[in-house]
């Protein structure tokens, strides 16, 4: 007779295409009950926006079909967005599961447009989304949403006063534009005050219970991106670029800064990629081709979407009507939806990477120096010294067995995680739906 073991064994053959792991070991099977041929369980997916949800569900049904002795099968499918940030060390924003910062090297590449439409696309999948316009120098989100005259309330929240964000199509929106008296007021503020404002928007806003908080950053590598990276744990950075070489090489600089701050990179979205002519139905690559692809290869991060040039996008943002709302069936809206799903998938990947790291840390710190040496012996010394350690640090190899996880170099931690869990196969996600 078929047993729970058989069911679980069968289900381990279903692999999440993004995370490259089987659904059982990832804990996606919940509340499993098997009573004389009646099988019931919940399949808990990692985000409602995952591009592979339907595929996983179908694979589960196929796998169960192959089992003999199941007369009735009842599967509930739910999705729970996983937390892609380590909040334990930090009390700030603990109700926000993922913080995604949208950055670019150059200005005017469409960061705000992308941040806004991605927020709307994520919200459409059923996720709870917030949008923080952290461009204090030139807040453009209020204009793009037709919320220019909007004011924010301040609510008494026990002893602390908190900002209550206004909502647009279900997303919570905060922008300095709701406060600035005149359009150019922000320009007079200096670094420390600007950082203070950003911190306040992050920490003193009632962002209750969000799956994704999207932060629209000003271009480049100034005070605001730095404040953000140092104030709260971020799930990852989304880089927006245009196809031109110049935009992409500037983007590399911004990527370098976040890398130094140890902020994970989720991937890159290319905006204004091509123009699809409605007469000839051909794609014209007006600004050239392949800029984002180059960044993706150079920095080993996935290309998560390509957004076409569309006059509707431009007209819409000037009129305060984003294309996700005005033209929900257009190729542009479709492109944003695909990108949003890929980004959600990357957040889930980030969650599992963090989980692996926590497990590796617990394991390492629980081992004796001899046991640690055994693990280290399994890397060939040559591999360690050429790939991980610069030559002059070779003496570190001897001392490594006495170090706690936190004292190990980041490169060594990565090598140990790879040794324990295998090389990460996750990187590229398809950019089509
Ligand atoms: N795919 C697109 N097709 C057509 N127009 C676009 C597209 N993306 C952005 N735009 C237009 O380009 C202009 C700049 O976009 P946006 O303000 O989003 O860029 P940004 O990177 O946020 O700029 P800044 O650096 O000033 O913050 C806007 O007028 C916007 O409507
Ligand atoms: Mg902007």
pLDDT cut 90: percent of the chain above it: 34
Is the Cβ atom of 233 under 6 angstroms away from ligand 1? no
Three-state SS for 61-89 is HHHHHCCCCCCEEEEEEEECCCCCCCCCC
Q: Running DSSP on this structure, what letter comes out for residue 178? A: G
What are the Cα distances from residue 53, in Å, to 60, 93, 121?
11, 28, 16
**pLDDT score recorded for residue 157:** 60
Could you tell me the distance, in angstroms and rounded to a whole number, from the CA of residue 108 to the centre of ligand 1?
Answer: 5
Average pLDDT in the 246-265 region? 80
Higher-confidence position of 208 and 111 = 111
Band (pLDDT 50/70/90 cuts) for residue 433 is very low
**pLDDT score recorded for residue 431:** 44
Is the Cβ atom of 319 under 6 angstroms away from ligand 1? no
Band (pLDDT 50/70/90 cuts) for residue 267 is very high
Atom 26 of ligand 1, residue of closest alpha carbon: 108
Is the Cβ atom of 310 under 6 angstroms away from ligand 1? yes
**pLDDT score recorded for residue 363:** 92
| CATH architecture of the region 87-352 | 3-Layer(aba) Sandwich (3.40)
**pLDDT score recorded for residue 379:** 66
Q: Which of 44-53, 185-194, 252-261, 374-383 has the lowest mean pLDDT?
A: 185-194
What are the Cα distances from residue 194, in Å, to 22, 134, 138, 186, 189?
45, 10, 12, 8, 6
Could you tell me the distance, in angstroms and rounded to a whole number, from the CA of residue 295 to the centre of ligand 2?
Answer: 21
Asked whether residue 429 carries a pLDDT value surpassing 50, the answer given is no
What is the pLDDT of the chain when averaged over all its residues?
Answer: 83
Band (pLDDT 50/70/90 cuts) for residue 427 is very low
Cβ-in-10-Å burial (0-12, 13-18, 19+) of 281 comes to exposed
Q: Which residue has the tokens 């461009």?
A: 135
Average pLDDT in the 104-108 region? 88
Asked whether residue 356 carries a pLDDT value surpassing 70, the answer given is yes
Average pLDDT in the 229-241 region? 87
Could you tell me the distance, in angstroms and rounded to a whole number, from the CA of residue 116 to the centre of ligand 1?
Answer: 11
280-314 residue pLDDT tens: 878 888 888 888 888 888 888 999 999 999 888 88
Is the Cβ atom of 108 under 6 angstroms away from ligand 1? yes
- Nearest atom in ligand 1 to the alpha carbon of residue 144 is 31
CA angle 103, 106, 108 (to 5 degrees): 90
Residues with Cβ within 8 Å of 20's Cβ and at least 6 positions away in sequence, in order, are 425, 426
Q: How far apart are CA 313 and CA 317, in angstroms?
A: 6
**pLDDT score recorded for residue 88:** 57
170-214 residue pLDDT tens: 999 999 888 766 555 555 666 667 778 888 888 888 898 899 999
Which of 26-35, 83-92, 119-128, 136-145 ranks highest by mean pLDDT? 119-128
Could you tell me the distance, in angstroms and rounded to a whole number, from the CA of residue 92 to the centre of ligand 1?
Answer: 31
Is the Cβ atom of 147 under 6 angstroms away from ligand 1? no
Rg, the chain, Cα only: 24
CATH number of the structural domain 4-79? 3.30.300.130
Q: Which residue has the tokens 């919320």?
A: 147
**pLDDT score recorded for residue 419:** 80
- Provide, for the chain, the percentages of residues in helix, strand and coil under a 3-state DSSP scheme, each rounded to the nearest 5: 40, 20, 35
Domain assignments of the chain as residue spans, ordered by start: 4-79, 87-352, 366-421
65-84 residue pLDDT tens: 999 999 999 999 988 887 77
Cβ-in-10-Å burial (0-12, 13-18, 19+) of 271 comes to buried
Is the Cβ atom of 219 under 6 angstroms away from ligand 1? yes
pLDDT cut 70: percent of the chain above it: 86
**pLDDT score recorded for residue 212:** 96
To test the pocket of ligand 1, the residue of 314, 324, 339 to mutate (highest count of ligand atoms within 8 Å of its CB) is 314
Q: Running DSSP on this structure, what letter comes out for residue 263? A: P
To test the pocket of ligand 1, the residue of 112, 143, 285, 321 to mutate (highest count of ligand atoms within 8 Å of its CB) is 112
Residues with Cβ within 8 Å of 152's Cβ and at least 6 positions away in sequence, in order, are 163, 164, 165, 166, 174, 178, 179
């Amino acid at each position: 007779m078929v047993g729970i073991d058989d069911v679980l064994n069968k289900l381990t053959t279903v692999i999440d295409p993004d995370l490259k792991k089987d659904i059982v070991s990832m804990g996606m099977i919940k509340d499993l009950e098997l009573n004389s041929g009646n099988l019931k369980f919940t399949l808990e997916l990692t985000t409602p926006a995952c591009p592979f949800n339907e595929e996983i569900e179908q694979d589960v049904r196929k796998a169960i079909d192959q089992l003999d002795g199941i007369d009735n099968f009842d599967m509930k499918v739910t999705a729970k967005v996983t937390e892609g940030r380590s909040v334990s060390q930090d009390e700030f924003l603990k109700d926000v599961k993922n913080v995604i910062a949208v950055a670019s090297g150059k200005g005017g590449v469409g960061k705000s447009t992308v941040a806004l439409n991605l927020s709307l696309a994520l919200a459409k999948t059923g996720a709870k989304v917030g949008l923080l316009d952290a461009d204090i120098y030139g807040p453009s989100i209020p204009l793009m949403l037709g919320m220019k005259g909007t004011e924010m309330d301040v609510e008494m929240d026990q002893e602390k006063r908190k900002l209550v964000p206004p909502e647009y199509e279900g997303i919570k929106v905060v922008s300095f534009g709701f406060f600035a008296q005149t359009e150019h007021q922000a320009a007079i503020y200096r670094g420390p005050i600007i950082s203070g404002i950003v911190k306040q928007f992050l920490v003193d806003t009632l962002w209750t219970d969000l799956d994704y908080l999207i932060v629209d950053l000003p271009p480049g590598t100034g005070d605001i991106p730095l404040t953000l990276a140092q104030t709260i744990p971020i799930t990852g950075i989304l880089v927006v670029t245009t196809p031109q070489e110049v935009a992409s090489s500037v983007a590399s600089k911004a990527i370098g800064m976040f890398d130094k701050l140890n902020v994970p990179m989720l991937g890159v979205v290319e905006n204004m990629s091509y123009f699809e002519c409605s007469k000839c139905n051909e794609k014209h690559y007006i600004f050239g081709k392949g800029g984002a692809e180059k960044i993706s290869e150079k920095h080993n991060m996935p290309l998560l979407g390509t957004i076409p040039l569309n006059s509707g996008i431009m007209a819409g943002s000037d009129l305060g009507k984003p294309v996700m709302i005005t033209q929900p069936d257009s190729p542009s809206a479709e492109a944003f939806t695909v990108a949003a799903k890929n980004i959600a998938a990357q957040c889930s990947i980030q969650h599992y990477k963090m989980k692996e790291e926590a497990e590796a840390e617990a394991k390492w710190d629980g081992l004796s120096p001899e046991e640690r040496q055994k693990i280290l012996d399994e890397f060939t010394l040559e591999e360690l010294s050429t790939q991980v350690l610069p030559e002059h640090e070779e003496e570190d190899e001897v001392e490594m067995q006495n170090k706690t996880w936190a004292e190990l170099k980041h490169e060594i931690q990565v090598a140990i995680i790879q040794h324990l869990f295998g090389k990460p196969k996750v990187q590229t996600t398809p950019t089509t739906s």
